[in-house]
Amino acid sequence: MAEARLPEPVKLICACLAGREEWLERARERLERELGPVDLVSATWPFDCTDYYEPEMGAGLLRRMYSFQELIGPENIVAIKHATNRLEQQLGAELPGGPRRPVNLDPGYVSRAKLVLATTKDYGHRVYLGSGIYAEVTLRWQGGRFEPWEWTYPDYREPAYAAFFLAMRRLLTEQLRAGPGAETRNPKSD
């Protein structure tokens, strides 16, 4: 009989969507207070692959990704998704002159094998984790790079995104090689 084993720590990510660069920066400040220091920041990309968010967020959206220094246990993504949902609501109340939902925060993590995103929406390719949160394997590591699935969002298929996730994976690998001294975080115990 196989024995259950704990998974390796993973690298936390948060994909942020907003209509203004200053809102992306405000989100970063709040995320760092909640989740710890950011160690990688993507470029700011136009979010023009869908108009899904326009009714509640407006047009001309921008995407930026943040990677966090401290590694987490993958099971902590449920608590982190609830925390980012609260932050979205707080930012909506704090950011004047914007739409009802000025910022969208989508946490997930990079492991050596995949990129996982947390969501509150169920679909056939998502797994329920508990407390109203589902997980989706958005990209898989194959042949020395991240590869999409049939359900992968169009923006996550972009080469610029792949380059960012590759940099995250390299950093994760370095942190795992550093051993037990590498910083890990358990938000449930904070």
Three-state SS sequence of 122-168: CCCCCEEEECCEEEEEEEEEECCEEEECCCCCHHHHCHHHHHHHHHH
pLDDT score at 157: 96
Separate counts of helices (H) and strands (E) for the chain: 4, 10
- pLDDT above 90 covers a percentage of the chain that reads 86
C-alpha to C-alpha distances, 106 to 26, 45, 63, 86, 88, nearest whole angstrom: 15, 15, 11, 12, 10
Would you say 147 and 161 are in contact if contact means Cβ atoms under 8 Å apart? no
Domain ranges of the chain: 11-183
Q: What is the pLDDT of residues 81-129, one digit of tens each?
A: 999 999 999 999 988 777 889 999 999 999 999 999 999 999 999 999 9
pLDDT at 190 over 90: no
pLDDT at 160 over 80: yes
pLDDT at 177 over 80: yes
- At residue 49 the predicted structure's pLDDT band, cuts being 50, 70 and 90, is confident
Would you say 38 and 64 are in contact if contact means Cβ atoms under 8 Å apart? no
pLDDT score at 179: 80
pLDDT score at 188: 40
- Alpha-carbon distance of 173 to 117, in angstroms, equals 19
